[in-house]
Structure 1
């Protein structure tokens, strides 16, 4: 799996998870809606997109590792596993 991100604004980041050339997932993450640091109430994800024809333009994205992804997103993905 490849992971990329795109910083949209100071608080919104798009995280892209590419399983293979045709299966991709994008999560819009608003750091203001991640309540894990202040309490145990969780996180609110603004948008989730799944594509079956890889539609991301990689030249606009930064490749990252799983350790660069916020813990709340990893928790959500693990929960759905």
Structure 2
């Protein structure tokens, strides 16, 4: 609905990063945006991690590392 111009939503920056960069969506009420929260991957033992968990870990690390920094209010892109 938001992408179709039919509403307003509160979303996480990574969910709309491409739309914000393209200008198809804009931020509203930037003075009221919460501060960004870091994302961390934590594991008890990386050495003996099950293969499925390791596959997710590698995928998540790659994807999270590639995300652009999007600061509240559009500052510091």
TM interval, shorter chain, is: under 0.3
TM-score for both structures, normalised by structure 1: 0.24
TM-score by length of 2: 0.25
Which structure shows the higher strand fraction? 1
Q: Which has the higher contact order (CA 8 A, sep 6+)?
A: 2
